Chains A and B, each alone.
Chain A
Amino acid sequence: DTAVSQTPKYLVTQMGNDKSIKCEQNLGHDTMYWYKQDSKKFLKIMFSYNNKELIINETVPNRFSPKSPDKAHLNLHINSLELGDSAVYFCASSRPDSTLAKNIQYFGAGTRLSVL
């Protein structure tokens, strides 16, 4: 009964390849996020979608393209992978009601991407 699940957990790939990470939440939330955590554990938001619409795009290279087929899913596709893309990517979601509750985010377990 995982609330926010992302696959795969580990992803090892060569430079230049294209890869996707999938995220699904069963919490009924309407806002979903992608974060990147670097080797120093710094967590930075990349994208946020609210009801399938993009609301945050934090100057992420356009090689990264999020796709939200419905409210429960937010997938991340990465083209032409580079060494610097190696990191842990986290999906998260937040509740639809009240301003304060919307701030509380629920995270997936992360996808560790290694670009060789």
Chain B
Amino acid sequence: SQQGEEDPQALSIQEGENATMNCSYKTSINNLQWYRQNSGRGLVHLILIRSNEREKHSGRLRVTLDTSKKSSSLLITASRAADTASYFCATPNSGGSNYKLTFGKGTLLTVNP
């Protein structure tokens, strides 16, 4: 089964710096999503990029997708302490109504004030 793998597993930066997280997956996809999970909370959807898109922006977030390399990156610019969280990529198993998402193991981002 396909599975997203994020790297690095953990990232610690200073407030104001940019944070880049990467995700690799194994099979063909029609879209890829990124989610954030604050400590002790549920996952929150951040952004979805379609397979025919190479880059997408949302506020301070920039996502890229390279389907030839089966990889995606999430860039958070001008990071804030509130960005401290785990970030997960997720890829769907499409077909019929079986829209299962497979999540990677996540990158724990710590933004130090």
Q: Do A50 and B42 touch (CB < 8 A)?
A: no
CA distance A39 to B102 in the complex (A): 17
Are A103 and B48 closer than 8 Å at their CB atoms? Answer: yes
Cβ contacts under 8 Å, B37 to chain A:
41
Q: Interface range on chain A: under 10, 10 to 19, 20 to 34, or 35 or more?
A: 20 to 34
Q: In the complex, A102→B94 CA distance in Å?
A: 10
B33 within 8 A of A: yes
Minimum C-beta distance from B58 to chain A (A): 13
Instruction: Collect the chain A residues with CB atoms within 8 Å of residue B40's CB.
Output: 109-110
Query: Are B92 and A43 within 8 A (Cβ)?
Result: no
Partner of A102 from B50, B88, B99, B102 at Cβ < 8 Å: B99
Shortest distance from the beta carbon of B112 to any chain A beta carbon, whole Å = 20
Cβ of A55 within 8 Å of any chain B Cβ, yes or no, is yes
Q: Which of A41, A92, A100, A110 has the most CB of B within 10 A?
A: A41
Chain A contacts to B: CB under 8 angstroms: 4, 31, 40-45, 48, 50, 55-56, 90, 92, 94, 99-100, 102-110
**B interface list, Cβ under 8 A from A:** 30-31, 33, 37, 40-45, 48, 50, 86, 88, 92, 94, 97-103, 105-106, 108
